[in-house]
Every structure is written in C-alpha cells, then in structure tokens.
Chain A
C-alpha cells in the first residue's frame, strides 16, 4: 500500500467526488447545505470529467427534490447507477420515492448533508431530524462523522448497495462536516475500481426494464398478498450488516482505514458509555481519551450503520462492564418515548438481555440507558458538554431524558456543563478570524487550510460561521493545525491567534473572549499602529492587557486599495497571518500564497494575479507591533446592542443574539410556538455604510423616486404643513412641496443613517442635477462620518413627525405611495436588492391589512431570519401579518389563509345579518361596504369600532361570537410572495392551482431569474443564454412565460412589472392586483447580485431590460374584458435596443461570451428571437377578443 495522497476538501466535495466517479445518472436540486454536491457534480460533468468507466455522468437539475427522486427512481428502473444529493425538506420530499426505491431493491445511494427540518422555524443548519424522518423507508443508513469518513463511507455505501441491492442513505452533518475543510487521505481510482464489483454493476443493469425482456414492476396488491410480498425482501435487508462489514473490511485492506458498524473507543472496562452518531462522535472521542488518561472508566460507541440496526453488533462492542449508557440524538421527536437512536439502543439491549435469546455472557442487570438531545441546528457540542453527560451518568439517578448545550429552565432537561473544564491540546494550533462577508476572508482561509495541508505534514481543519445578513454580514473562520487528524467537530474554544479583519467589529461583539492567554492578535486597522490603541473600546483594551495578548496592526485596507484590490483585504491579512504564525518560513509562505492565488484566480486574468501578488509582497512590510500600555486608557465602552427605548423582548432576547450571545439564552426566553414580535430591525443599528445619501433640497423636484427605489426603506418622504416643523432641529432640511395648492406644505426627504447600506440606488435614480455642477444631484453619497451625528438627530425628529392620513393619499401613484409609512424596513437583504423595493411599496400601499404567505428563499431569510426582522407595524399597531411555511407550498399556504379569512368574513356577515335588527343602521352600512379600497377600509374600521361598542354593551352568545369575528368585516389582502424558484419550479403546481381557484389570492413573484438564496442555480425563470449554476455552458432553453400561462385562465389578473422601467406601472399594478377580486399574479423583475451587475444601477438595468423587450411590461386585467375592452395592455413600447446591448452589461450573459464566444453568439441570437417572437405574440394578444370569464364567474356567483 503506497503512501496515500492528501487533499484538503470539504465533506460535500469528498462525498460528491466518489458519487460522481461511480454514477451514470445524477438528478439534483439545490438545497442548503447539500447544494455544493450537486453543483460540483454538474461542474465536473460540464468539464467532461468521467466516471471510473470512462463515461461522463448525466446530470440534470429537477424542479424539486420530489422530482429529483422521481428521476432517480426512473433511472434506476432502467438500469443506471444513479445518485442524488439532498438535505432537510428535500429529503422529506423524496420520502415517497424512497419507499418505492427501497421496496423494489433498487441499488443506489443518496448522499445527505443532514440538516434540521423546519418546525417552529426554518434552520439551514445541521442535525439529524431529516434523516431520522427517513429511517422507516427501508433505506440502509450509513453515517459519516468527518470529512475523511464522508469520502470513505460514500464509497463503502456505493459498494454495499450493489452487493445487497438495498439502497443507502449516506449522511453526514450539515455544515459541520459538509462545509468543514479538512486534510484527508484521498481515495484513488484504483481503490474505487477495486471496491465496485463490475459483475454487480452488470447485475444491476440486467434488472432494468427492457422491452426485449419485459417485466412489470409497481403493481397494486390486495389484502391477500401485500403483506407477504412486503416480507419477501427480508433476506436482503437482513444481509446488509454483513455486506457492509465485508465492504468495510475490503476497504481497510485497500486503504488501511478501518471502519465497523459500531465502533467502540475508550476504556476496555468502561462503566459509562456514550452512544452517538455523526460528527459529535469525534468530540466525544476527544473527551473520552482525556478522561481515560485521567483514570476514568468511560467509552464511546460510534454508530455508522444505523439502518438496518444490527442489535448483536451493538451489544458486542459494548464492554461487558457497561453499567450506564447515554444515547445522544441530534434530533427531537416530541411525544415519543425517546429519540430514535435512544429507542433503538434500548430495544437492542432489551432484545439481548431480556429477549427470548439473551446474549450469552451479557452482564446483569441490563445497563441503565438515558437519552440526550444535543446539537440541534448545529448547536455547539463540545468536549466540556461531553464531560457534563458523563457527569449525569455518574449521578445517583441519571435523568431518562436530558438535553446538553442549552439551558432548559422550562422543563429542566438540560445538563449543566463547565466550559472551563476542558482545554484544547497544546499540540494543535488554533486560529480564529473575524471577517466581513465581502472581504474574502473565508476564501483566503480555505486556501490557508489547503496550503498548510499540502505543504506541511500537519493536518488542517477549517470551519466557517456566517451570520444571516446578506449585506454587511460577518464571518468567523475557525482554523486548526496539528500533527494528528483533527477530530474536534466544534468551534475553536481558545485561540492562539485571533485576527480582526474589520475594525468596526470591535463595536458589536466581544471578539477577544476566545483568545488564549498570550495569544497573537492581528488587527486590521485604518489607524496607524501608534494610534490604533486609543480607538479601541475600553473592554477590548482591558482584555488585551489581562490576557497579555501580543498585538499587531496592519492597515490592510490601504494596502489592498493601493494594489487595486478595493475592499478585498484577504490577501493582505492572509500573508500577515502566515508571517505571524510561523507555520511556514516567510519566503515559502509568500510563494505558497501566490501559488494558491494563481490557482484560485488564474483564469481571471493577469491583472488580477498581479494585483494580488503585489499585495502579498507589500503586506508584511505594513505589519506593525502595537505597543500595549499597562492599563486601559479608553473611556469609551462598546455601545449597547440596542437603544434603551427598545421594548422588553428586544432588550432581553434580541439584544443577546445581536451581541453573539444567543447560545446563552435559556429556553424560557423564547416563544413556545415560533411567534415573534414585529419590526425588530429598527432596533439593530448596524451602521454598515461607509457613505450615505445626503439630500440637497435646493435641487429636488419632489419626484419621490429615491424613496420608492430604496431597497432598505432608509430614505423616507413626508409632506407636512410648515407649522408642524416648528420644533425641528436647525440641521433639519425641508423644502416647499410642489404640485400642491397649499403653499405651506413642506417636503422632507430623510435618510436613516444607521440603517442605510450605502447601496447608492437612490443616487443612481435621482433625476435632479445641479445646473452648475451636473455631478451634484439632489441626493448624493457622502462620507457617513461627516454626517452621522447630524442625520441621527434629523432621523429621530423625522420619526417623531406624524404619519400621513392614509385615506388622503393617492396610493396608486409614486408620490402618494411614498408618503405612506413603509412597514417593511431595514432588512438584511443585499445592498441594492432588487426585490425589497417591491415589498416595501406593497406595505406602503396596503400593509395595514396584508396577510403574507412567504415562500422559503431570499425573501423569507431577509424577511424572517433572526435576530431581527423587517416586517413592521404602524402607530396603530397594524401591519403585515407574515408567515413562512415551506418552499414548495406557498401558493397553497396563501390560499389556505384566504379560505379561512373568507370563511371568517362570511361567518361575521352572517352573524351581523342576524343581529342587524338589533344593531341598527350601522349593521346594514357594514354589510353594504364590502369594497377593499383605502377609503372603504377606513370606513370599515370606523364602522367596526362602532359595532364593537354595541357588541360590548349587549353581551350574549351571538354578540360574543361576532366580537371574536368582527375584525374580519375589514377587508384583508392576502399575498403569496416568493421567488422564481418557488413560482416557476418547486411550487408551480400550487401556483397553478391557486390561479385556477378563482379565489382572491395575490401572488407576487420576485423574479431574479435564478435561485438566489442558495447561490445562483438555474430555475425555469433563467433566460436563455445566461450562465448560472447548473447552466455553466449557458442556458439553452427559453424562460418559461408564466404570465402567459396565467392569462390563459381568463380570470386571473396578470402584471409583468419592472420598477426601474416604469414606476407608475408598478405602483398601479400592485393596487390593481389587490383590487381584483379573483387570483392575481404579479411578476416583478428583480435584479440580483447573481446577475453580475453593479447593484447601484439596478434600476437602470431594469430600464434597459424593458427597452430591449427582454422584460416587456404589461397588465392583463380580466375586468377590462368584462367591460368589453381588451384585457391585455402593453405598458412598454416596442423594443428599441437589441437584446445584446442589454445583455452585455450583465456578467451572467457576458461571461459566456468570454468562455465560449461561438455558443454565446448562437444563444444570443436565439434569445433575440425569443424576444422578437414574444413581442409579436403580445402585440397580437392585445387585439384578441375573449369571452369574459371573469364576468361569467361573477354572474355564476351572483346566482
């Protein structure tokens, strides 16, 4: 056996590489954290990488995981070696097919990056709740606990499935393993060929459906035989443990790495044993080693083959001395007698000790078994917690059900642990880097892991933590380097090296708590080394002194800018890290960093390389040792995470999360059902912009466009009588409001300085230019530092001014809508997001009566990801009521809301009708006021208030019932909102059904033409000629015309809008959609960073999109047809510029011309033909005369 080669990869790549090498068909669908496996498989096949039989695997992206599973099933039926990758809800969507695939003994492997299943909340992070939901399907289940295992057990699973015919779920922990970069021994093709028996491959093919030797599979069976037939496969399932054991043995012979179904590690005469599965096993092993060394009789059983569960194998590995067992489950099964693994272990022990055939020599009595939950949603699981679990086992009466890693002060399940009871071994170097999402820190650290892994004998591990903001996000990189394989599946606890890549981070969180005494501290500071100290908050200074940190300073920003790298300080800080860490000699480190840069950026051109290279060369020279005084000199403490005015919940709970201390919050801090208060973003003053827009009232033309387009609701408009501004601070700017008869009215455009992301969309759209200097507009980006204090005062005053009376506003106009209070504000969406202006506008127009069903995706993340959320309320406490169900069901989710609301309204009206003689004239007024416009709703509120007064003074059974329903006499506007991945792909069936329902549900598609949230995968909204993940060679088919499909129904209001192309049309379309009493579909063009554009000009891109006919603007209103008019109105003019002129301004199109000019030319030509054809079709549609189905429907209802 030759010395194996090493590579540094993450768990996804490790597993996907094996899967791609041994597969012929791969059906995929993106879902975090499994998406990279599919992306890699697709990229490899695009690049012509072959499987071990010399063929390029066929990779296809499906419309959902259910679709992927169906395609997998079909490919298996026809004899292909087939795989897929998934997680969480995706695995759940595959379950029906898993039963079929397992029931029909179709050999295959599904690789799962195990992730939480959404319950009270969605979480993208790792636990076993998804795979545990599939444990009953008949699939064999093999668990990997590290990156090395993700590779090795992937191959063992593929080998075992062919031999046993039982399909496998091979899973590993989402993020902790899927995204951990580690140095592993690589399995080469020779090993793969040796593990995969070609005879078994042939046998697999021979079982395929074949018209030459036809069979029938998938019969329907009756009570007489189903049961027996279901048992017929038993021998195959029973054989799996032996098959897996044999494949593991063969693998060991080939590689030297030995695995078993259950592996025991620890004291040979252990009394206390933990049973665990997945990445946590490595952590337990670490703790066990230390405890055994300290003389304790403890051990750990790592479960690898979870299904079929080999009872004998488990019992056999347990030391005969075992007295107490803690089974740790990374899932929660409410209401059960215990979590799944616990139940399996209990059952196994019962079978072996007390069953009909007790194990010979088994000790008596049977060990005590407790069950513990740990690590849900990637909750940290550390050796200190393991000590806590062993402590519980040692207690007089261990609790049957425990939790570890949290403080459960409600049901008292949690085990306390002492974080200081564990210290990481000195042999491992540990480094932690605090970066920003946009500065390249994570990418550089991944490369550092690879450099160390490849150039030194050291093992290396990198794990990366992100916050959930899409603008101004922070990252934390945890790196370990050591002489032995690193099993620590938890964040660095004590760092020898801490790097702060963004000086402002000191203001938000305690960053140095993680630093070990005497650790090296690297600060990227905009200040000279001699001045940096005085700019640090007092707490930071004290920690540096107390921990005797050795502090270094580099002005990475200046070095990066001088070398043309903008804000990407990663190269500079990476070079400084190597210089200070001494992991490599300086010259070798520089050489290695450059080689790594060349590998990463080489294809992007010489200039990119040269700029990075020169930054490497300049970095160490810019590094300075910071002199640390004997005592803290700063009088300034870190600011409070939220202002004192924040409400109680925000102070107690939200603020802790903002500070990075959410882990410390006890169970009692949280709502029991996932219900959270509204509008918490206003309390999180992130202040991430370097420049903010400053208004020059002298030039302003009162167009309100800046307020309309602001993706973050950070620019507001109010128009008030001058008298209202009597108490304004002197810095407060306002101007006469044009176009109004009242000369005393003043207009105010105000920026929210701490909430602005500095995206610049407002400046880009501003049409008012100075007559003296055209670059000076009515709104201009200026350094925030020069305006922050003043604008904070101004914004506070602005907020204190009264909001407009909504009933007096023309909400279907740009200006009128912008005077209304936005009830969607300060979201964490990307700076310059193309989606959020629509949402904000919608809340201005009808937020006080909206009920929102929000599909999973970008909008559910920036709309609903803790710590703070942007959906807000007005002064009366009204606002959009918001909920997220799933990705695939959002249209139905909205329809359900509509049905309930309609039912409630009908019930209320019925009750009111019955009570009308007693209530008096107001009852009739209410019953006759059934419109949904602003004035009608304002009147409804007054009427219902009056009604409530009467109801309260006339209590009886009927009035009490009506009291509980009276608010439904005020019209509600139901909106199903989501992205194109939902509407065009995974949720299309539901969208179609809702459109066909005739019910008053408004569907808003924020169409970014790509799966934005999961990183830019192709959807059926992706246009021809664009490149995206899964369309690396350019999408060859045209975008689905979902609007045309909807128009076919004849009673659906359809609008195709692009705010930047026609603001008036956008504003009108949303109000028309809401007013239409049947289903509405609004497809809103939403530029995205996935388009590869400067988001500051995203409105300009929309304009070009419409001008080229790429995004035609139209409104189809069935009510017009009912009135005898044509339903379809084109709101944009005939295409004026060629598609290519627009396309070449966006990287998603232009990149293809660089990669493959011939294909790009061909696809561009076809894309132009698509546009021409569609425009021609629409022009004809405008003239089409249809029977008004809308009118017919109404008549039918009237009958």
Chain B
C-alpha cells in the first residue's frame, strides 16, 4: 500500500486531503465529523477582521442609539450584559475547542484589513494554539492609481509583518490575478510564507434583475475549476521555496491524484464536502489510495511533482501552447 504520509507546514499528515475553510470547519460537531471521516487536517473558517470590526461597531451603535438623548431613555435601549462577543472571542472559542477535541492538526485562517489587525489577530490565533496559520489575502485592487507593484508590495508587507509576529508555520492563500504569479509566489516565499495555497475564491457580485441591486453571492466550485490550479501548481513545483496547497475544484480522487502529480503537497476540499457531507473525504481518500497503490507507488513523495512542468517532456503543455493545441484538436461535428 502506498505511504500517503504528507508533510505540510511542519505537520505530518496521514494523507494529503485537508478540509479547507468552510462552514463545516466552523463548529465542533462538524469538525469532529470531518476528523471521523478521515480529514488529514482542518483549516478553520477565516477570522475576518472586517467582520469583527463591523460587529463591534454595530454593537457600539446598538448601545449608543438613543442613549442619553431623552430624559426617559436613560443609558440607551439595550441592557448592559456581562459579556459581549464584540471581537474575536467567538472565533477563538472555536479554535480552542477544536484544539481540545481534535487529534488532527488545526490550521487557523485569517483575513485582515489593517496591518495592525493582521498581526494582532495572528498573534491571538497562535496564542490560542493554532498549529499553523493561513493568511487569506484577498484584495480587490480597484484603485486606478495603485500600480500592480504597489498592490504586490502590500501583500509582501503583510506577510513580512505577520511572519515577524508569529512563530508557527505560515501559509498564504492568494488569488490567481497576478501578472506574474510565479514571481509573486517566489517573493511571498521570500517574505516568509512556508506554503502557498492556490487559489482562493470569494463572494462575487451578482445583479438581481428584479431590484437591480448588487447581491454578492458564493457559488460552490465545480471540478473544472481545478484546471487553473493544476496549471500553476505544475508550473511552480520546484521553482518556489514553499510548499504548495491546491484548493478550489478538488471534488474527487482523480482531482487529488492529478494535483499531487502536478506537484501539490496537499489538496484542500470545500465544495464537495458541502455537497456530499464530511464522509466524502473517506470516499476520496479510498480512491486516492487505490490509484497509487494499484500503480505500486511506494509513497506520495515519489509521485509528487512527477507531472509538473519541470518533469514533463513538453513543458509548454502547461503554458499558452496548451490552449493553441486544444483549439487545433477541436473537431466540430
């Protein structure tokens, strides 16, 4: 049987299938179910600094509205409670509980908005026992005055500041929208990222045709989306001094196998687990184990990157020519 042991972020995992950030990793019950189903590790949902701030300001507004504005509304409309979760307490509570209840590694995830916020929350997550931290960076570069270099520098500064604030392993989750993703990946590694998680997907705007309102929404990934990840994992394999985690579009055993062959250290699942439930991990894991075992691989390390750009006879297959060839091979009926 193939040894599926995987190293990721300094952690020894039983296999390369990690449950990524999702509502499933947000409660102890479903975290336990994921562990039961065989997840190698879990990444908690992102602690959103913006959400924390929003909640905090909303709470403040709730207390202040109507406070002392009238002789009869003494002290506002809401009773002072002993304890309000106005900051990151709820998230930290889940983290602490996860660390207490689970035997598999727990990776915390953070999405900040301010430099101070990134580092202070990162420190909190480390202090509460996270085995590693994933920075979930998603900046919509909408400012026409900001050059691509400036945007990239913001990423790098963030990683450097967090890296200097914490000791636990650090993964950086980014999107694909860089002019030179490989160069960016290399710079992120140099800034202190132990791993890169490729790629994140967030709410995208939609338009309600009834009201003409813009309504951000999240749709689950499809297996086809895995191709984008596959390409960049394959290209980066061996060129970046950081581990590579593949996320988005990982739905089945074939996908996991392909990503490992392309060079991923671990693969992360979200949508498929939301669709099929935590038990789907066991199914995928069985498939992965069977595939490698049937082909007599001794370990995953043997297979990892064996079909990366550097390892294939035609490296351009992962580049633009790939597109060209696809067009040429297209045979209309």
Contacts and interface: CB of A to CB of B under 8 A. Distances in A.
Interface of A: 32-33, 35-36, 39, 42-43, 46-47, 124-125, 175, 179, 436-438, 440-443, 446, 464, 466, 468, 470, 473, 475, 568, 601, 603-608, 769, 774, 830, 861, 1010, 1013-1016, 1027-1033, 1089-1090, 1092, 1147-1148, 1150-1151, 1154-1157
Contact of B85 (A46, A470, A608, A1154): A1154
B86 interface: yes
Given A440-B64, A605-B52, A1089-B65, A473 B70 contact: yes
Interface in B1-57: 52-53, 55-57
Counting contact residues on chain B (CB < 8 A from A), the size range is: 35 or more
B210 to A, nearest CB: 11
Contact of A607 (B52, B67, B68): B52
30 contacts: A33-B74, A36-B74, A47-B82, A124-B72, A125-B71, A437-B68, A437-B70, A438-B69, A440-B64, A440-B68, A441-B68, A470-B69, A473-B69, A605-B53, A605-B86, A606-B56, A606-B87, A607-B52, A1015-B72, A1015-B74, A1032-B80, A1090-B78, A1147-B58, A1147-B78, A1151-B59, A1151-B62, A1154-B59, A1154-B85, A1155-B84, A1157-B90
B298 to A, nearest CB: 48
Contacts of A1154: 55, 59, 84-86, 90
Nearest to B69: A437
Contact of B81 (A440, A1030, A1032): A1032
Given A43-B79, A47-B82, A608-B56, A1147 B74 contact: no
B277 interface: no
Given A605-B52, A1092-B77, 10 more contacts: A468-B71, A473-B69, A603-B80, A604-B59, A605-B56, A1015-B74, A1028-B79, A1033-B81, A1154-B59, A1155-B84
Nearest to B81: A1155
A466 B69 contact: yes
B79 A1029 contact: yes
B138 interface: no
Contacts of B77: 1010, 1015-1016, 1028-1029, 1089-1090, 1092
Contacts of B212: 769, 774
A603 B84 contact: yes
A163 B73 CA distance: 37
B59 A607 contact: no
B56 A604 contact: yes
A446 B82 CA distance: 21
Contacts of B74: 33, 35-36, 39, 179, 1015
Contacts of A607: 52-53, 56-57
Contacts of A1092: 61-62, 65, 77-78
B279 interface: no
Nearest to A436: B69
Interface of B: 52-53, 55-87, 90, 120, 212
Nearest to B90: A1157
Nearest to A474: B69
Given A601-B60, A1092-B62, A39 B52 contact: no
A1154 B55 CA distance: 9
A48 to B, nearest CB: 8
B84 A1151 contact: yes
Nearest to B72: A32
A769 B209 CA distance: 13
Contacts of B65: 1089, 1092
B72 A605 contact: no
B71 A1155 contact: no
Contacts of A33: 71-72, 74
Nearest 4 pairs between A and B by C-beta?
Answer: A605-B56, A437-B69, A1016-B77, A605-B86
A1090 B67 CA distance: 10
A124 B64 contact: no
Contacts of A438: 69
Nearest to A10: B74
Nearest to A441: B68
A605 B61 CA distance: 12
Nearest to B87: A605
Contacts of B70: 437, 466, 468, 470, 473
A1030 B77 CA distance: 11
B72 A475 contact: no
A884 to B, nearest CB: 15
Interface centre among B68, B81, B85 (most CB of A within 10 A): B68
B78 A1027 contact: yes
A470 B75 CA distance: 14
B149 to A, nearest CB: 29
A1029 B86 CA distance: 19
Contacts, number: 157
Contacts of A1156: 83
A1157 B67 CA distance: 25
Given A604-B63, A1154-B86, A39 B71 contact: no
B71 A175 contact: yes
A504 to B, nearest CB: 16
B55 A1089 contact: no
Contacts of B69: 436-438, 466, 470, 473, 475
Contact of B68 (A464, A605, A1029): A464
A46 B81 CA distance: 8
B78 A603 contact: no
Contacts of B78: 1016, 1027-1029, 1090, 1092, 1147-1148, 1151
A46 B80 CA distance: 10
Interface centre among B52, B70, B76, B78 (most CB of A within 10 A): B70
Nearest to B80: A43
A909 B181 CA distance: 92
B90 to A, nearest CB: 7
B79 A1090 contact: no
Contacts of B67: 440, 443
Given A179-B74, A1148-B78, A1157-B85, A1089 B66 contact: yes
Nearest to A606: B87
Interface centre among A33, A43, A1154 (most CB of B within 10 A): A1154
A605 B59 contact: yes
A859 to B, nearest CB: 13
Interface centre among B60, B72, B75, B86 (most CB of A within 10 A): B72
A849 B296 CA distance: 94
Contacts of B85: 1154-1155, 1157
Contacts of A605: 52-53, 55-57, 59-60, 86-87
Interface centre among B53, B74, B79, B87 (most CB of A within 10 A): B79
Contact of B64 (A35, A568, A1029, A1148): A568
Contacts of B53: 605, 607
Nearest to B63: A604
Contacts of A568: 64
Nearest to B207: A774
Given A1027-B78, A1092-B77, A1013 B86 contact: no
B73 A1015 contact: yes
A332 B312 CA distance: 102
Contacts of A468: 70-71
Contacts of B71: 32-33, 124-125, 175, 179, 466, 468
A1028 B69 CA distance: 18
A56 to B, nearest CB: 13
B62 A1147 contact: yes
A1031 B77 CA distance: 12
Contacts of B73: 1013-1016
Contacts of A830: 66
B28 to A, nearest CB: 12
A450 to B, nearest CB: 14
Interface centre among B61, B86, B120 (most CB of A within 10 A): B86
Contacts of B90: 1154, 1157
Contacts of B56: 604-608
A1014 B72 contact: yes
